[in-house]
Amino acid sequence: MSCRVCGSFAINDHHHGREPGVDLDLCDVDYWRTRAEQRERVIQSMHQHYNPGAEPFEGFVIDDDGTELDAVNSLDRMIMDYAKARSGQAAEFVVVPPSLRAA
């Protein structure tokens, strides 16, 4: 079976912190992307409800050689590092504040 979103065959329902038997029509990346998007909506709702007028945290993600990643690759990196951390491996995720962005 392939992923209903992207067509990938990387569906490992017993690895990377996935709940076995859940969302078997999603590859590992889209499984975690779906959960990240759901949680983002909850966080945004909480932020708007409990802290109106406050600015959200902004930053950017860099890869191993310091190159800034775009939004899609940043989300993929966050999802995969989260899965690594859930499985007991060391995460290597780095978020840099905008003030340190190279000119």
Residue 19 included in any domain: no
pLDDT at 77: 78
User: Does the structure show a pLDDT above 60 at 103?
Assistant: no
**Number of domains making up the chain:** 1
Q: What is the pLDDT of residues 49-99, one digit of tens each?
A: 555 555 555 667 777 777 787 777 777 777 777 777 777 777 776 666 667
19, 37, 40, 57, 73 from 30: Cα distances, Å: 14, 10, 15, 24, 13
Residue 9 included in any domain: no
Residue 90 included in any domain: yes
The sign one gets for the Cα dihedral 69, 74, 78, 81 is negative
Residue 77 included in any domain: yes
Residue 43 included in any domain: yes
Structural domain containing residue 82: 28-100
* Residue 60, H or E segment: strand 60-61
Phi, psi of 68, rounded to the nearest 5 degrees: -70, 135
Residue 17 included in any domain: no
pLDDT at 74: 78
Asked if 91 and 16 touch (Cβ cutoff 8 Å), the reply is no
Residue 23 included in any domain: no
Q: What is the pLDDT of residues 35-51, one digit of tens each?
A: 888 888 776 765 565 55
Residue 14 included in any domain: no
